Amino acid sequence: MAAEPSAHELIARHRPTLDQALEAIRTRAYWSPHPEHPKAYGEHGSLDAAAGKAAFDALLGTRLDLGQPGTDDWVGGEVSPYGVELGVTYPHADLDVLLPAMRAGQRAWRDAGAETRAVVSIEILKRISDRTHEFAHAVMHTSGQAFMMAFQAGGPHAQDRGLEAVAYAYAEQVRTPAVAEWTKPQGKRDPLVMNKEFTPVPRGTALVIGCNTFPTWNGYPGLFASLATGNAVLVKPHPRAVLPLALTVQIAREVLTEAGFDPNLVALAAERPGEGIAKTLATRPEIRIIDYTGSTGFGDWLETNARQAQVYTEKAGVNTVVVESTDDYKGMLSNLAFSLSLYSGQMCTTPQNLLIPRDGITTDQGPKSYDEVVADLARSVDGLLGDDARANGLLGALVNPDVKARLEAAAGLGEVALASREISNPEFPDAVVRTPVIVKLDGAKPDDEAAYMSECFGPVSFAVAVDSASDAVELLRRTVREKGAMTVGAYTTDAGVEAAVEEVCLEEAAQLSLNLTGGVFVNQTAAFSDFHGSGGNPAANAALCDGAFVANRFRVVEVRRDA
Amino acid sequence: MAAEPSAHELIARHRPTLDQALEAIRTRAYWSPHPEHPKAYGEHGSLDAAAGKAAFDALLGTRLDLGQPGTDDWVGGEVSPYGVELGVTYPHADLDVLLPAMRAGQRAWRDAGAETRAVVSIEILKRISDRTHEFAHAVMHTSGQAFMMAFQAGGPHAQDRGLEAVAYAYAEQVRTPAVAEWTKPQGKRDPLVMNKEFTPVPRGTALVIGCNTFPTWNGYPGLFASLATGNAVLVKPHPRAVLPLALTVQIAREVLTEAGFDPNLVALAAERPGEGIAKTLATRPEIRIIDYTGSTGFGDWLETNARQAQVYTEKAGVNTVVVESTDDYKGMLSNLAFSLSLYSGQMCTTPQNLLIPRDGITTDQGPKSYDEVVADLARSVDGLLGDDARANGLLGALVNPDVKARLEAAAGLGEVALASREISNPEFPDAVVRTPVIVKLDGAKPDDEAAYMSECFGPVSFAVAVDSASDAVELLRRTVREKGAMTVGAYTTDAGVEAAVEEVCLEEAAQLSLNLTGGVFVNQTAAFSDFHGSGGNPAANAALCDGAFVANRFRVVEVRRDA
């Protein structure tokens, strides 16, 4: 263990990182302090691949004792989508003990100030980063992501999103100075002079409700935004994806302790099977902030019922790609094939509806009919996933039986343009690995509309035949307005169509990727540069990350005195 | 009428003001571009006292035709608290015509960008400022404020709050650059390069629900915050305080038209007596933002029911002053006397409960018993208001019969330490002018608690006897936590008591004024420097003005393309 760092030492160590992050969110140019390549780890205290794997293996079958007050039981039961029983148990909390205990350290954390909170948060992220290889296995074996994706999305990309939230939180808190002298002229009389002090104060205890598919990536923004603004944070992981967030909590508690703060500023709320403590927690008076990623149903429930809290939700949406024309047909097909395949479409950003004119599209390879486009896309997916090793590396495993059931049902919704295939995973024979299905639907048929206007989470895409480009644009508008969207994509060489799609996205507040044919995909966003969601359509009430995501997690209290 | 200004000309004219406002909210030093002194007006196109009065007089008995679409009737009926029937009528709107018409100009307003929206907003404020004398009469004869207060609070101070909101809105929108180039290294391969565009987009149409007592001061922050972030704004004034906001809407529509925008970006929704259109409007799907000042009951209703909108509320609270000790007994008494008297206590910031140890306090004039403190404060109020002309100038008129009824009932709640007196107003004989009542209550008596733990809006204060300083601190905490507070004051020379009061204010998020004995009063806040409310206790869910007040009134839409 490193020598215990003082706040002063942490400022010296991490202030440059904070400043770079602040500059990055201002310019939105590319930046990341967290290496994406697995081989970049192994020096300066970070675990290399072998050490990370060993650390993960050593966790299996153990009790992760976080030293939390009010622990009344030990709970666990995670089974990896790859078939491995993790066998890790976690503290189960008596909330009437744990929640009050989480208040004890809040005053010192508040008084530490925004800069100290930022650098302590960055130290937590640094230690998580050092254990990226270990986290990669934890994310892989809870989400079902393939290793490389679990490594990158669950590691550096998640850490980036956490750091981005720290930067926004810090910037927001220092917009108001700590002190001000206010001198108001009074004509010939003496001026009025006042001394004013401004202190960012936390709202109380924040709750992070984690999701199954991206426990760290979707969990870190809220966790670090709340912590860096002075709140205590209770992390309620998804019952099938506890380990990555439990490790996060453990590291946070260690760093807080070493920096002289109360470890109970961050705690875990694991639950018994079927206990459903999210509802109980979300309406506790101590909980003043909630971050949630998951179903629209529960997200809406939180927004309606957790009235004592600020509620930030990312819910379901129906992501659309308009395919109208392209000057790089091959690039379009391979880009789309990758987007549909990555993590078996189990991303909130995966395109679901591909809107294609029934009269076909123009391309650099001549006109292509609707049927040709769909068939060529199917072939492109087949080609991408033709090699089982590569397929396993892209698809990962289906995260739960619901996804498999939806996938199987999807084949009955219309004509199957690309059937889902079962892929065997030699390393993990119990993993359920499936290629995506593409189903043809008719945008004009009411029966089909019921399918394409609902989120079908998983490796299911609909090639929706539309009457025209303008029909596509209107269907896009209606889909975003009624169902929400985390992402919108479009392929067009027509300036008018491009402008129309842009206008829909501006009016309905959806994030748009245009004519992606290279190595960037509609379902990926980069911290410090891309917004994840807009917070302005039904898919999410918040965006990662902006001022609105942090500004209401604290309040500023002013104390003024006659000078 | 001035020559029609282009956006470019407005930028040249007002960018320096915007920059100064941006600097002011950053340093929170004193600044205002709006003169407080009535004699400062009359040059550079502004109306002097006589011209302002004439302009107001010319409005009486007229129809204020704003040229709004969907006008289906003319409504009015304001009667000044000073007894004058204004006789002004306003357009009554068919919402099914007006609300759709308000959408027509939103795209051009959005595309104009943050800077143009800021300078157009500042031009609106400039023209309001030029007519400050006219507005002063309009505010006086709707709110019942005395002329000088109506002039200052309804004029320059309200304009300051509007400009402050414009500055915050602008700053928030330009935190994200308009464009970015993102270049991600790919080792030996070519980097990924993307071009990104970021556009602030409005939420839709905003609703401002005005209040009776401060139509402009409380109305301008929301109005200008929403307008400057790209939204159309529908202003629903209090039926007894329409004129100041109707003039504001008229000016806004003129400026928008001259600058080349659709005047329907700002519109008025006046109502028939008893029509109660606020509820109808607040739940219309077009309304995406609501700003409200008024009762806790309706504020809570809005927060619960207007789920399609971002809701910013300022509601009722119970403001407390802890009187524990002072080294300037005379200054304390005169400062408190002024605070209790100003506008007959009809401010959301007026102290209600004065917590005084029953064993008395220490002062620079020796120990003073509870009874002495209360009697001396009563004498101080009497002295301040002993001259009828001065009393009229400070008190103004009671805004409505409810306030009078509460004032009369208050005398029955306990021992009256200072009885309310009737003051005659020679200029306006029908004005209901009353001096404040001070009632003694016992903090330990449950019957008394029912009185002091409720907001008694108007010229009513309670001198609450408490057991000790720590009892006062705990009662303060309980009051803020349960009832909310817009302001807290304290008088103490004891460092421990001061620290305890500060800690309560930090923990319960209340704005604190300490030991005010001069020309600044607990019920006054200055734009660009003081926060009005905290947004963190039950009195209000927003503070004027901070990042949170503006950040969620727009969203940022990103369009990205392969470079």
Do the Cβ atoms of A182 and B505 come within 8 Å?
Answer: no
Tokens 């306030």, located at residue:
B403
- SS3 at position A63: strand
- Nearest chain A residue to B553 by CA distance is A548
A199 contact residues in B (CB cutoff 8 A): 506
Residues A556, A198: contact at Cβ < 8 Å? yes
Do B551 and A556 lie within an 8 Å CB cutoff?
Answer: no
Note whether B199 and B254 are same-domain residues.
yes
Cβ distance A181 to B29 less than 8 Å, yes or no, reads: yes
pLDDT tens digits for B19-61? 999 999 999 999 999 999 999 999 989 999 999 999 999 999 9
**DSSP line for A76-103:** E--B-TTS-B---EEEEE-HHHHHHHHH
Digit-coded pLDDT (tens) for B520-546: 999 999 999 999 999 999 999 999 999
How much is the ipTM here? Answer: 0.97
Domain boundary among A514, A534, A551: A514
Q: What is the pLDDT of residues A166-203, one digit of tens each?
A: 999 999 999 999 999 999 999 899 999 999 999 999 99
Displacement of CA A400 from its chain's centroid (Å): 19
Q: Which two tokens stand for residue B422?
A: 């009737």
pLDDT tier for residue B6 given thresholds of 50, 70 and 90? confident
Is residue B1 situated within a structural domain?
Answer: no
Per CB-CB distance under 8 Å, the chain A contacts of B303 are: 307
pLDDT tens, position by position, B181-225: 999 999 899 999 999 999 999 999 999 999 999 999 999 999 999
Interval A61-97: pLDDT, tens: 999 999 999 999 999 999 999 999 999 999 999 999 9
Would you state the pLDDT for residue A6? Answer: 83
Residue A1 has pLDDT above 50, yes or no: no
Determine the Cα–Cα distance for residues A560 and B530; give it in Å rounded to an integer.
9
- Residues of chain B with Cβ-Cβ distance to A198 below 8 Å are 28
Which CATH number belongs to the domain containing residue A281 in this structure? 3.40.605.10
Compare all CA atoms of chain A with the CA of B515 and give the residue at the minimum distance: A561
Sign of the four-CA dihedral A18, A23, A28, A31: negative
Same domain, B351 and B275: no
Mutate to test the interface with B, among A30, A157, A305, A511 (most CBs of B within 10 A): A30
Residues B369 and B509 in one domain: yes
- Asked whether the beta carbons of B320 and B353 are under 8 A apart, the reply is yes
B419 and B555 fall within a common domain: no
CA A341 distance to own-chain centroid: 19
Q: How far apart are CA B311 and CA B541, in angstroms?
A: 8
Residues 6+ apart with CB under 8 A from B3: none
- Cβ distance B518 to A182 less than 8 Å, yes or no, reads no
A336 and A293, same structural domain?
no
- Residue B313 is inside which H or E element, if any? strand B310-314
**Torsion sign across C-alpha atoms A135, A137, A141, A147:** positive
- Which domain does A118 fall in, by range? 7-315+543-562
CA distance A472 to A489: 12
Give the CATH number for residue A507: 3.40.309.10
pLDDT, mean of residues A468-489: 98
Say whether A561 and B515 touch across the interface (CB within 8 A). Answer: yes
Which residues in chain A have Cβ-Cβ distances shorter than 8 Å to B198?
28
**Sequence-ordered list of residues with C-beta below 8 angstroms from that of A87, at least 6 positions apart, any chain:** A60, A61, A62, A76
| Burial class (CB within 10 angstroms; exposed 0-12, middle 13-18, buried 19+) of B479 | buried
Q: How many CB pairs under 8 A join A and B?
A: 186
Strands (E), A105-257: 179-186, 189-202, 205-209, 232-236
Closest listed residue to residue A459, CA positions, set A502, A488, A423: A423
Asked if the Cβ–Cβ distance from B180 to A29 is below 8 Å, we say: yes
Contact call for A28 and B177, based on CB within 8 A: yes
Same domain? For A268 and A349 the reply is no
Where does residue B223 fall: left (phi above 0), alpha (psi -120 to 50 degrees), or beta otherwise? alpha
Q: Do B27 and A518 touch (CB under 8 A)?
A: no
Q: How large a percentage of chain A has pLDDT more than 70?
A: 99
State the average pLDDT for chain B. 97
Nearest to A562 among B181, B518, B526 (CB): B518
Same domain, A282 and A395: no
| Mean pLDDT (whole number) for B87-95 | 98
- The DSSP code for B382 is H
Same domain for A305 and A332, yes or no, is: no
Query: For A186, how many CA atoms within 13 A lie in the half-sphere containing its CB?
Result: 10
pLDDT for residue A4: 64
Number of Cβ within a 10 Å radius of residue B445: 14
CA distance A302 to A540: 13
Interchain proximity B28–A198, CB inside 8 Å? yes
A274 C-beta neighbours (distance < 10 Å), count: 6
Query: Structurally, how many domains does chain B consist of?
Result: 2
Looking at residues A278-282, what average pLDDT do you find? 97
Give percent of chain A above pLDDT 90.
Answer: 98
Same domain, B190 and B333: no
Q: Is residue A531 part of a domain?
A: no
Q: What is the pLDDT of residue B1?
A: 42
All residues of chain A having their beta carbon less than 8 Å from the beta carbon of residue B175 are 25-26, 546-547
Tens-place pLDDT, residues B232-247 = 999 999 999 999 999 9
pLDDT of residue B4: 63
Q: How many residues does chain B have?
A: 563
Contact status, residue B534 vs residue A555, Cβ threshold 8 Å = yes
> Is pLDDT above 90 for A210?
yes
CA A196-A200-A202 angle, 5° bins: 145
Q: Is residue A243 part of a domain?
A: yes
Which residues in chain A are contacts of B512 at CB distance < 8 A?
Answer: 557-560
| A519 to chain B, closest Cα gap in Å | 7
- Sheet containing B205-209: which strands, arranged edge to edge? B266-268, B232-236, B205-209, B287-293, B310-314
Does residue B287 sit in the same domain as residue B325?
Answer: no
Give percent above pLDDT 90 in chain B: 98
Cα–Cα distance, B392 to A312 (Å, whole number): 50
Give the distance from residue B509's alpha carbon to the nearest chain A alpha carbon, in angstroms: 6
Q: How far is CA B479 from CA B353, B377, B474, in A?
A: 10, 23, 9
Which chain A residue has its CA at the smallest distance from B501's CA? A559
Flag whether pLDDT at B160 surpasses 80: yes
The pLDDT confidence band at residue A5, using thresholds 50, 70 and 90, is confident
Nearest CA to A356 out of A465, A452, A485, A196 is that of A465
Determine, for residues A518 and B201 on separate chains, whether the beta-carbon distance falls below 8 Å.
no
A507, A552, A560: residue with CB nearest B514: A560
Question: Are residues B499 and B552 located together in one domain of the fold?
Answer: no
3-state secondary structure of A106: helix
Identify the closest residue of chain A to B492 by CA–CA distance. A561
**Amino acid B426: pLDDT:** 96
- A101 vs B22: CA distance, rounded Å: 41
The tokens describing B125, both together, are: 């404020």
Q: Is residue A519 part of a domain?
A: no
Distance (Å, rounded) from C-alpha A26 to C-alpha A214? 26
Give yes or no for a cis peptide into B545 (omega within 30° of 0). yes
What is the CB neighbour count within 10 angstroms for residue B237?
27
The tens digit of pLDDT for each residue in A350-386 reads: 999 999 999 999 999 999 999 999 999 999 999 999 9
Contacting residues of A for B513, CB less than 8 Å apart: 559-561
Residue B521 lies in a domain: no
Angle at A354 between CA A348 and CA A355, to 5 degrees: 135
A523 located within any domain:
no
Paired tokens of A493: 């060489």
Task: Report DSSP state, residue B6.
Answer: P
Q: What is the distance in angstroms between the Cα of A71 and the nearest Cα belonging to chain B?
A: 27
Residue A2: pLDDT above 50? no
Provide the phi-psi class of A255: left if phi over 0, else alpha when psi is between -120 and 50, else beta: alpha
pLDDT above 60 for A38: yes
B248 vs B78, B157, B234, B236, CA distance in Å? Answer: 17, 15, 12, 12
Q: Show residues of chain A in contact with B510, CB under 8 Å.
A: 557
Q: Which candidate from A307, A506, A513 shows the least CB-CB separation from B199?
A: A506
Are the Cβ atoms of A512 and B562 closer than 8 angstroms?
A: no
Question: Which of B26, B29, B194 has the CB atom closest to A520's CB atom?
Answer: B194
Cβ of B555 within 8 Å of Cβ of A547? The answer is: no
CB contact under 8 A, A201 and B506: yes
The per-residue pLDDT for range A126-149, each reduced to its tens digit, is: 999 999 999 999 999 999 999 999
> CA B323 from chain center: how many Å?
27
Shortest alpha-carbon distance between residue B186 and chain A (Å): 10
Q: A30 vs B526: CB contact, 8 Å cut-off?
A: no
| Residue B262 near residue B103 (C-beta atoms within 8 A) | no
Nearest CA in chain A to B520: A192
Distances (CA, A) of A499 to A471, A487, A491: 14, 17, 12
Look at residue B5 in the predicted model and tell me its pLDDT: 73
Considering only CB atoms, which chain A residues are within 8 Å of B184? 30, 526
Q: Chain A residue closest to B230 (CA)?
A: A507
Does the beta-carbon distance from A536 to B201 stay under 8 Å?
A: yes
CA distance A280 to A134: 32
Q: Are residues B341 and B374 in the same domain?
A: yes
Q: How confident is the model at residue A307 (pLDDT cuts 50, 70, 90)?
A: very high
- Tell me, yes or no, whether A253 lies in a domain: yes
Is residue A101 scored above 90 in pLDDT? yes
Distance CA B169, CA B133 (A): 28
Residue type, B101: A
Give residue B273's pLDDT. 86
Q: Examine residue A207 and state whether it is found in any structural domain, yes or no.
A: yes
Minimal C-alpha gap between B28 and chain A (Å): 6
Sign of the dihedral defined by the CA atoms of residues B474, B476, B480, B483, in that order: positive
Contact at CB, B196 and A530, closer than 8 angstroms: yes
Q: Is B489 exposed, middle or buried (0-12, 13-18, 19+ CB in 10 A)?
A: buried
Give me the percent of chain B exceeding a pLDDT of 70.
Answer: 99
Strand partners, B555: B201
